Amino acid sequence: MSSPTLTLNDLIRTRLEEIAEDLWQNDRVMGVNHGDGRVLQLGTAAVWEQWACHSDHGYGLCGEPLVTATQASTLLGMYSDDDPVPNPSIPLIETELLDEGVGAFLPDALFHFSDVTREFKKAQG
């Protein structure tokens, strides 16, 4: 009798599912399937939508795309460890996401696209 084999891919998939479930339960954030996401563009930079906010911030359901700190930095043309949106009008959502460049789950933040857009316009003058 052999025991079932647990692979690294199984562990990663399970952790991704746990993170998605926690984001939904705690913050009403839903993951977007890769084929269903939109391209979010500011200036000449673009990123793929991975998360969407379904919370009520006092004006009804939000429905706005959320971007990671790395995506926000890319859209704003920033390549540093500084917070890409220092004063978001809608509080950022802290979570843990898979960083494929590092190959590990690391703390990250999700920003509303409107806050990133506002920061972009502010930088443009």
Can you give the pLDDT at residue 90? 93
Domain ranges of the chain: 8-124
Alpha helix positions (H), 1-125: 8-27, 69-76, 113-124
Can you give the pLDDT at residue 49? 95
What confidence tens digit (pLDDT) does each residue in 24-57 have?
A: 999 999 999 878 889 999 999 999 999 999 999 8
Q: What is the pTM of this model?
A: 0.88
Tokens of 24: 């939904």
Nearest in space to 94 (alpha carbons), one of 103, 83, 102: 83
Is 47 within 8 Å of 74 (Cβ atoms)? yes
Spatial distance between the Cα atoms of 12 and 15, rounded to a whole number of angstroms: 5
Spatial distance between the Cα atoms of 12 and 93, rounded to a whole number of angstroms: 21
